[in-house]
Amino acid sequence: MVYSFVLLGLTFIGLLAGSITDLRTREVPDWLSYGMMAAGVGLSLLFSVLYLDYSFVAHSLFGLLVMFLFGLLMFYSGQWGGGDSKILMGVGALVGLSWNLVPFPFLLAFFVNMLLMGALYGVGWSIFLVFTHYSAFRKSFRMFMNHQVAQHIKKVVMGAGVMVVISFLFVDRLIWYLFLGVYLVFLLISFLGVFLKAIEKSCMLRSVKPTQLTEGDWIVKDVSYQGKYICGPKDLGIEKKAINRLVALYKQGKINQIVIKEGIPFVPSFLLAFVVTLFFGNVFFLFI
């Protein structure tokens, strides 16, 4: 009981601190993430020694491994930054994961809630960005809607809509509802693609001086000097060595501004999912 209370308390404190720094600076300090990992494994090892039960440290390492793999997937798919992935690994080490699924492990319940809360949080944050950058968003949205590719998509959507309406006269109602559902999903995805592109261009791109760059920032376009590549989107976050190179060129007057992409600060959604899990468990079970 003491073991769970201490580790869950440290997890909450870590996520709270990470949420504050993520909202303020769009960064999560490495010392916080690595500190959570070290605390989780270290305390679990201590309890394993005290109670002569290897399961404490085994569950901590297993939780760390599972969250490491998921964080790696999200990082290399471009969905999260390194800070998001690392703090999630810290959660895995602190909470731990049992391979016994009965009762349903807390970490898996947190994981399910995190996916749900993350989706809701992402939608809410996107709406917030639209309202705070409405003028720029409207201009960007119109530009994308008038783009040649968008025009072709409009024609496809309209043609598919006409076919769905006509099919109402010839097919079984159940099949028609299926057609309608597929069409509405396609319509939503088409609109959402333009919506997200407009948000990215109008709300998430920012020009900064090389001296303002921090390790892990996402560079929008390739940056080269005298034909030599320095950094770019494929790096999945700029490294310290590249920052030092850009700062040196900036001081020489060779490079002025670098365009970076500011992602959504996702750590607060982790905190929200953790609190929901504490009080309600796996929210998915509430609907079945």
Q: Dihedral sign for Cα 122, 128, 129, 131, please.
A: positive
**pLDDT confidence tier of residue 273, bands split at 50, 70 and 90:** very high
Q: What is the CATH number of domain 2-131+265-287?
A: 1.20.120.1220
Q: Given this model, what pLDDT does residue 60 score?
A: 93
* Max CA separation in the chain (angstroms): 74
Q: What is the mean pLDDT of the chain?
A: 84
Share of the chain above pLDDT 70, in %: 95
37-71 per-position pLDDT tens digit: 999 999 999 989 988 888 899 999 999 999 999 88
Q: Given this model, what pLDDT does residue 182 score?
A: 81
Q: Which residues contact 2 (CB under 8 A, 6 or more apart)?
A: none
Least confident of 21-30, 75-84, 202-211: 75-84
Q: Given this model, what pLDDT does residue 58 score?
A: 93
Cα–Cα separations (whole angstroms), residue 142 to 136, 147, 191, 194, 217: 10, 9, 12, 9, 28
Concatenate the DSSP letters of all residues of 86-119 into one string. HHHHHHHHHH---S--SSPPHHHHHHHHHHHHHH
Q: Higher confidence at residue 279 or residue 177?
A: 279
Token pair in block for residue 259: 């365009």
220-235 per-position pLDDT tens digit: 888 888 888 988 888 7
Q: Given this model, what pLDDT does residue 46 score?
A: 92
Q: Dihedral sign for Cα 143, 146, 152, 156, please.
A: positive
The pLDDT of residue 12 is above 80: yes
Most confident residue range from 76-85, 87-96, 248-257, 278-287: 87-96
User: Rounded to an integer, what distance in angstroms lies between the CA atom of residue 209 and that of residue 231?
Assistant: 14
Strand pairing partners for 207? 259
Q: Which residues contact 245 (CB under 8 A, 6 or more apart)?
A: 230
**pLDDT confidence tier of residue 102, bands split at 50, 70 and 90:** low
**Length of the chain (residues):** 288
Q: Given this model, what pLDDT does residue 101 score?
A: 67
Q: Given this model, what pLDDT does residue 20 score?
A: 94
